[in-house]
């Protein structure tokens, strides 16, 4: 690890214009799978319901643990009615789903514009339903307040006040914040156990298993988009550790290393614990590196994972980032990865999608990471793309996913090479 002590000041292109991004409601698609007895009730419009359906795909054959209470014309006529209507919807929902232990009322653009106070509604319903074993919380996933992964941040921040207080005599514990696929969480849990670090995870898999928190808690973020959650945890007395995010062999080692140092793990012990999984990660990466090395890549803003992923691709796969766009650049959370990005990378925060596409067309990178609305049109222009949403839905963190992560970027390039004969004749 040779990160400079002080990150160089880099110019950042800040743009305002059309933002081609999801709103925070989209996080429900993975959060409802993660917390298995939670239900997400969006209070919004038909557009919200349609978004969730489109983002989740129509391929879910079970009844999903999310739904929308669609605001209708008559609800807009008088606000007093809306709370009664909402109570009615919640009663119907819980009658149908008695397995639900935690209900999130999720605010949307329309609910916020009409100033429907969902925090108040949640505390009213919570008082009524708590005796029956159902907790009710609220957060906003609206597009006016949250950009894509910020929805998870708002959800986890809403959970923080509910975390039990750790007794003052408790020995220090690690809290890993940010939803991870269960398989990845289990891998990390084993690594922390081997390091002798007592670790909890937020969000928990069941609503009843909220980890305790207090001044002895050290927080390690597993996702780079959790500014609100981090602030709430610090408000509860926890201390935040700053680290690169656990992508690839080096990223994961650095991330674990920050925790190990904070807990005073013997360096020798640390080296022993990470040696085998790190070697596995290196081996897996070595297969993809020849395909990625020297290839130029641009990121359009999407999930705030862009900077850590660009770090991984540049440092560990030899790719050349051209433009790295992110919806928000938080020096505090992105800093450690940013410091390891090659100089000369164009950083962009915010978005004016038309101008950004003009730059992509001028740069002609070998691979463009973008949303689903832009991928096929760019492919049709002859530019290879990688769907950014897959990076949020797939297990990509940690040593044992390092190869999978690299493969996600290699696959579009491999596919283009395989199908080269099908490519249209270049224009004369």
Partner 1 sequence: MKLTAWTYEGPPHVGAMRVATGMRGIHYVLHAPQGDTYADLLFTMIERRDHRPPVSWTTFQARDLGKDTAELFKTALADAHARFRPDALLVGASCTAELIQDDPGGLAATMGLPVPVIPLELPSYSRKENWGAAETFHALVRGLADRTRRPAPRAGRRPRVNLLGPTALGFRHRDDVTEVTRLLDALGVDVHVVAPLGATAADIAALGEADLDICLYPEIADTACRFLERTFGRPTVRTVPIGQLATSEFVREVAGHLGLDPAPALAAPHARLPWWSRSVDSTYLTGKRVFIFGDATHAMAIARVATEELGFEVVGLGCYNREFAREVRAAAARLGVEPLVTDDYLEVEERIAALQPELVLGTQMERMIAKRLRLPCAVISAPVHVQDFPARYSPVMGFEGANVLFDTLVHPLVMGLEEHLLTMFREDFEFSDAAGPSHLASGHAAQQAPAPAPAPAPADPVATAACAALVAAPVAAPIAAPARADGLLVWTADAERELRKIPFFVRGKARRNTEAYAAERGIAAITVETLYDAKSHFAR
Cβ atoms of 137 and 119 within 8 Å: the answer is no
Half-sphere exposure of 179 (CA within 13 A, CB side): 28
Q: Are 406 and 292 in contact (CB under 8 A)?
A: yes
> Does 50 sit near partner 1 (CB under 8 A)?
yes
Q: At what angle do helices 227-235 and 150-159 cross, to 10 degrees?
A: 20
Contacting residue, 79, 98, 120, 144, with partner 1 by CB under 8 A = 144
Contact call for residue 40 and partner 1 (CB under 8 A): no
The residue within the footprint of partner 1, chosen from 36, 45, 123, 394 (CB under 8 A), is 45
| Cα 36 to Cα 12: distance, rounded to the nearest angstrom | 40
Size of the site for partner 1 (CB under 8 A): 62
User: What letter would DSSP give residue 23?
Assistant: B
Cα distances from 409 to residues 120, 299, 404, in angstroms, run: 45, 12, 9
Give the integer Cα–Cα distance in Å for 306 and 304.
5
Of 19-27, 179-187, 225-233, 334-342, the window that binds partner 1 (rule: CB under 8 A) is: 19-27
Residue tagged 């490519």 (tokens): 423
Place of tokens 């969006």: 42
Q: Binding to partner 1 by residue 291, rule CB under 8 A?
A: no
Tell whether residue 354 is a contact of partner 1 (CB under 8 A): yes
Selected binder of partner 1 within 38, 40, 142, 368 (CB under 8 A)? 142
Asked if residues 406 and 288 have their Cβ atoms less than 8 Å apart, the reply is yes
Task: Determine which residue in the list 28, 82, 158, 406 makes contact with partner 1, applying CB under 8 A.
Answer: 82
- Of 158, 39, 163, give the one whose Cα is nearest residue 99: 39
- Interacting residue with partner 1 among 31, 38, 86, 213 (CB under 8 A): 86
- 66 touching partner 1, by CB under 8 A: yes
The neighbour count for residue 115, using CB atoms within 10 Å, is 7
Least distance (Å) between residue 172 CB and partner 1: 38
DSSP class per residue in 124-142? HHHHHHGGGT-EEEEEE--
Comparison of 36 and 47: residue with beta carbon closer to partner 1: 47
Q: Which of 49, 105, 156, 402 binds partner 1 (CB under 8 A)?
A: 49
Answer yes or no: are the C-beta atoms of 299 and 323 closer than 8 Å. Answer: yes
In whole angstroms, the minimum distance from the beta carbon of 387 to partner 1 comes to 9
Letters for 93-132 (x = contact with partner 1 by CB under 8 A, - = none) are x---------------xx-xxx------------------
Contact with partner 1 (CB under 8 A) among 5, 61, 80, 426: 61
**Which positions lie near partner 1, rule CB under 8 A?**
17-26, 43, 45-47, 49-51, 53-55, 58, 60-61, 63-64, 66-73, 75-76, 82, 85-86, 88-89, 92-93, 109-110, 112-114, 142-145, 147, 354, 371-377, 379-380
């Amino acid at each position: 690890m040779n990160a400079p002590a002080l990150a160089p000041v880099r110019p950042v292109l800040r743009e305002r214009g059309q933002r081609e991004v999801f709103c925070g409601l989209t996080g429900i698609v993975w959060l409802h799978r993660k917390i298995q007895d939670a239900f997400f009730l969006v209070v919004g419009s038909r557009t919200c319901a349609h978004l969730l359906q489109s983002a989740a795909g129509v391929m879910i054959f079970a009844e999903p643990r999310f739904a929308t209470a669609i605001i209708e014309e008559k609800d807009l006529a008088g606000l007093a009615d809306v709370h009664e209507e909402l109570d009615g919807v919640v009663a119907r929902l819980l009658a149908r789903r008695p397995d639900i232990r935690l209900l999130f009322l999720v605010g949307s653009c329309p609910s916020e514009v009409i100033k429907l106070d969902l925090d108040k509604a949640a505390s009213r319903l919570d008082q009524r339903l708590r005796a029956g074993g159902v907790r009710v919380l609220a957060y906003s996933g609206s597009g006016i307040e949250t950009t894509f992964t910020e929805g998870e941040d708002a959800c986890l921040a809403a959970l923080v006040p509910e975390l039990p207080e750790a007794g003052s005599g408790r020995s220090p514990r690690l809290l890993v914040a940010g939803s991870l696929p269960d398989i990845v969480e289990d891998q990390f849990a084993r690594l922390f156990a081997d390091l002798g670090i007592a670790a909890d995870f937020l969000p928990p898999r069941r609503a009843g298993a909220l980890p305790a928190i207090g001044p002895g808690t050290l927080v390690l973020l597993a996702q780079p988009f959790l500014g609100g959650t981090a602030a709430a945890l610090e408000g509860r007395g926890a201390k935040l550790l700053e680290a690169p995010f656990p992508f690839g062999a080096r990223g994961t080692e650095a991330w674990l290393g920050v925790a190990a140092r904070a807990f005073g793990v013997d360096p020798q012990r640390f080296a022993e614990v990470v040696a085998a999984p790190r070697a596995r990660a290196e081996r897996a990466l070595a297969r993809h590196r020849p395909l990625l090395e020297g290839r130029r890549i641009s990121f359009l803003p999407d999930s705030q994972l862009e900077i850590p992923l660009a770090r991984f691709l540049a440092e560990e796969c030899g790719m050349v980032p051209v433009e790295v766009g992110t919806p928000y650049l938080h020096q505090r959370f992105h800093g450690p990865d940013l410091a390891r990005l090659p100089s000369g990378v164009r950083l962009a925060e915010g978005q004016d999608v038309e101008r950004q596409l003009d730059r992509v067309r001028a740069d002609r990178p070998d691979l463009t990471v973008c949303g689903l609305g832009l991928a096929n049109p760019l492919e049709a222009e002859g530019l290879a793309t990688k769907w950014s949403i897959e990076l949020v839905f797939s297990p990509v963190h940690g040593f044992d996913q390092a190869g999978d992560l690299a493969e996600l970027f290699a696959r579009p390039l491999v596919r283009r090479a395989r199908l080269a004969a099908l490519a249209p004749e270049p224009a004369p």
